[in-house]
Amino acid sequence: MTAGRAAVLENGALTVADVEYGRPGHGEVRVRLVASGLCHTDLGVIAGGIPFPSPGVIGHEGGGIVDEVGAGVTQITVGDKVLLSFTSCGACAGCDTGHPAYCETWQPRNLFGLLRGEDSGVITRDGAPISGHFFGQSSFGTYAIADERSLVKVGADADLAVLAPLGCGVLTGFGSMWNVLDPGTSDTVAVYGTGAVGLSAVMAAADRHPAAIVAIDLVDERLALARRLGATHTINPGTENVAERLAEITGGHGIDLSFDTTANPRVARGALDAAAIRGTVLVCGAPPPGTEILVDIQGILTGKVLRGVTMGDTVPQELIPRLAALHAEGRLPLEELEKTYALDDIDQAVADMHHGVTVKPVIVY
């Protein structure tokens, strides 16, 4: 066992504690973590909206250095710098066709930490096993025992503290815009919610130079940041009528491509109402199970499409190196979103994210 520290989730709260990390099992790698991003999905688990077994370790935007590899690992070696993303089975129809985010066992593997090998490495606290393997990694600690399929190798000069959030939030926002919505130069784009996912989508859209990029949020400071990152228009629903402003911006045409990151069904419905003929509304986020979007059937008979997305429909091993390269070129200014925190200050990081003080907290070990 290897001694370390982790933020253990128990009874709806995180407590930093001494833990022990076992050796990686077949197809697993133990990573000494340098940093981990904090994501709204983590907040959902803490709030009880996602039933991850407790006590346990969550976190799913890790970046670190490979410490030990288990049997059967072929693409990763000790000493490699890696970023951690989601896991998948590698054998189902989704995985075989280049869509691992739609793996047939995605939820139990990622959200619940299940479907692990019999020799899978464990985390213990005071000698008793606790849950791990969240998104195939559990990165709120000094080490992670991760699936090889969760890992993306990056260059030896990579700044892992800056790049760690690529594994989920940035990947989801950027990938959803690039891979799914795929805007052209004549399209109008609206992004609802300017957290890390939404702002990543704004940056991705700006790289495609559409006719307009509209960022919508209740926080003026985030709207100003969206402008700096490429938005051509901003709307604050607290002081402006969103429908009227979108009609004004588009000359009554409506929005061609909308991305709703809020997980709020009222926002999704508003995006549908504001969509152009044959427009697409893409939704992501993890609201509580049973959350429904009210749809006016007459309103979508003009060819409007309501579509969901997971993890930007990406292959992390393909997109993450591209994102790292864009950052190195100055075209993906992640530092604009981030603020670093120590592991002992993770509660403050959670509070700052929840209250909109920090767009993307990064826990640095």
CA distance 181 to 176: 6
pLDDT classification of 254: cutoffs 50, 70, 90: very high
Asked whether residue 112 carries a pLDDT value surpassing 90, the answer given is no
CA distance 242 to 202: 18
pLDDT classification of 1: cutoffs 50, 70, 90: confident
Q: What is the 3-state secondary structure (H, E, C) of 252-298?
A: CCCEEEEEECCCCHHHHHHHHHHEEEEEEEEECCCCCCCCCCCCCHH
What is the arithmetic mean of pLDDT over 241-266?
96
Per-residue confidence (pLDDT) for residue 287, from 0 to 100: 79
Per-residue tokens: 111: 């959200």
Per-residue tokens: 214: 């509209």
Nearest to 33 by CA among 141, 169, 149: 141
CA distance 47 to 57: 14
- Using one digit for the tens of pLDDT, what is the confidence trace for 13-71? 999 999 999 999 999 999 999 999 999 899 989 988 888 899 999 999 999 999 999 99
Residues 314, 358, 163, 333, Cα dihedral to 10°: 90
pLDDT classification of 115: cutoffs 50, 70, 90: confident
Given this chain, do its domains 2-167+333-364 and 170-310 carry the same CATH topology?
no
CA distance 364 to 286: 26
Domain residue spans of the chain: 2-167+333-364, 170-310
Report which DSSP code applies to 156: T
Helix axes 196-208, 220-229, angle to 10 degrees: 30
The domain defined by 2-167+333-364 folds into Quinone Oxidoreductase; Chain A, domain 1 (3.90.180)
| Strands 360-364 and 28-37, sheet pairing | antiparallel
Asked whether residue 313 carries a pLDDT value surpassing 80, the answer given is yes
Per-residue confidence (pLDDT) for residue 110, from 0 to 100: 93
CA distance 139 to 61: 7
- Using one digit for the tens of pLDDT, what is the confidence trace for 56-81? 999 999 999 999 999 999 999 999 99
| Strands 212-216 and 233-235, sheet pairing | parallel
Cα-trace Rg, the chain: 20
Asked whether residue 286 carries a pLDDT value surpassing 80, the answer given is no
Per-residue confidence (pLDDT) for residue 113, from 0 to 100: 81
Q: What is the mean pLDDT of the chain?
A: 95
- Using one digit for the tens of pLDDT, what is the confidence trace for 169-208? 999 999 999 999 999 999 999 999 999 999 999 999 999 9
pTM: 0.94
Cα 330 to chain centroid distance, Å, stands at 21
The domain defined by 170-310 folds into Rossmann fold (3.40.50)
What is the arithmetic mean of pLDDT over 84-91?
95
Nearest to 237 by CA among 254, 255, 220: 220
SS3 195: coil
Q: Considering the chain, what percentage of its residues have pLDDT values greater than 70?
A: 100
